[in-house]
Amino acid sequence: MKALTLIFVILIALLQYPLWLGKGSWLKVWDLSRQISEQQAINAELKARNDSVDADVRDLKQGFAAIEERARSELGMIKQDEVFYQVFERSSPDASATPPMTTADSIKPAATD
């Protein structure tokens, strides 16, 4: 009886080996599915970037508005007989320019009447 049990255990182990550790095992399938999902995420990012570049190319081929916009923003160009006004935002006073108030400065003598 022990020999029959041992034979069945060995037979089950031999049948389970390809399922868990063989060429098409569950572990390899799990790893490949993880790699597929990572690659699909990378592909989605690249597709979005390609769509953006494709839209830029179409804009540049079809009209001068995109070319003019790029010339203005990236190269600082203006049209002939056009006046350029550059507006600077007023910055708030720098906190480091004013020394912080110390406790000795904040204590004032009491008025004596």
3-class SS letters over the chain: CHHHHHHHHHHHHHHHHHHHHCCCCHHHHHHHHHHHHHHHHHHHHHHHHHHHHHHHHHHHHHCHHHHHHHHHHHHCCCCCCCCCCCCCCCCCCCCCCCCCCCHHHHCCCCCCC
91 found inside a domain: no
Whether 9 is covered by a domain: the verdict is no
Residue 109 has pLDDT above 80, yes or no: no
Q: Is residue 94 a part of any domain in this protein?
A: no
Asked if residue 47 belongs to a domain, the reply is: yes
Q: Is residue 92 part of a domain?
A: no
Count of the separate structural domains present in the chain: 1
Looking at the domain assignment, is residue 37 inside a domain? yes
pLDDT grade for 110, boundaries at 50, 70 and 90: low
Counts for the chain of helices (H) and strands (E), in that order: 4, 0
Greater model confidence, 2 or 103 = 2
Question: What is residue 86's predicted lDDT score, i.e. its pLDDT?
Answer: 78
d(CA 111, CA 97): 32
Question: Could you tell me if 20 and 27 are in contact, meaning their C-beta atoms sit under 8 angstroms apart?
Answer: yes
Report yes or no on 71 lying in a domain: yes
Interval 32-83: pLDDT, tens? 999 999 999 999 999 999 999 999 888 878 878 878 888 888 888 888 888 8
Give the pLDDT confidence of 12-39 residue by residue, as tens digits. Answer: 888 888 777 777 788 888 999 999 999 9
pLDDT per residue as tens digits for the range 79-105: 888 888 878 888 876 655 555 555 554
Show the domain range for 32.
Answer: 28-75
